[in-house]
Structure 1
Amino acid sequence: MSLTEKYEILIAFLGREIPEKEYIAKVWNQAILEEYQKSTVYINVAIDERLLACVDCTESERGFIITSVRNPIQSQDPELYYNSLGSILFKVRNILGDPYTLITVEQVNSSFFPYNLKTSR
């Protein structure tokens, strides 16, 4: 196990039109590719759509949770990873019209198992 960081980003479109999840993924994919070409920092994310409950929310309010875990084997410098993720996030926010955004970071223990074409029997 390795100690690393897990980033969770909430993007909420309170009182606004909510884009399709596929559009959110397309915007993230493009921003990730551009950042990789610029910095060679490898970042991947998982995108989940969630219902929101809050004081001013309607019953149909939705948000997106974007989760990224730094793989310490691929990206050894946590500060460089964070800065690249921030660059991606600012680009995504700009394209989406600056929705409400919250980022949390936590230290986690993780293990990474690379895909292996050979199966042991």
Structure 2
Amino acid sequence: MKNLKIFSLLLLTLTFVFSSCSKDDDDTPGTGTKKVQYKLIGSTGVNISVIVYYDGDNPVSKTGNFGSEWTSEANISSKTPTISANAIGPNDNSTLKAQILVDGKVVKESGVSTGKVLTTNVSYY
């Protein structure tokens, strides 16, 4: 009876291992390309100054005065959808957050950064 339980447990484990190894699984980190759009949202008076995200396999870095909201071009292809940003707010109540959108819907959102010096990042995985 003990051997039957061990055999059943081994068989069940192998079933999960083989079923999770599908080549068509695009949600596995590092595999498959996602078409995404990135969005940064700051409160009134926030100035986003540094943005880093992935486009394809390459990081893209932008610096400037982007104001309190920034949205990337639509449908960026990336195997590692990730965005980071820095901003300066006018007071301690200033906020900044990042979003990753797929087909126009938010699929990941960062926590809200608060203060005069703001930083945020979010990854799809």
- TM > 0.5: no
Comparing both structures, which one devotes a greater share of its residues to strand?
Answer: 2
TM-score bin (small chain):
0.3 to 0.5
Comparing both structures, which one devotes a greater share of its residues to helix?
Answer: 1
Larger relative contact order, structure 1 or 2 (CA cutoff 8 Å, min sep 6): 1
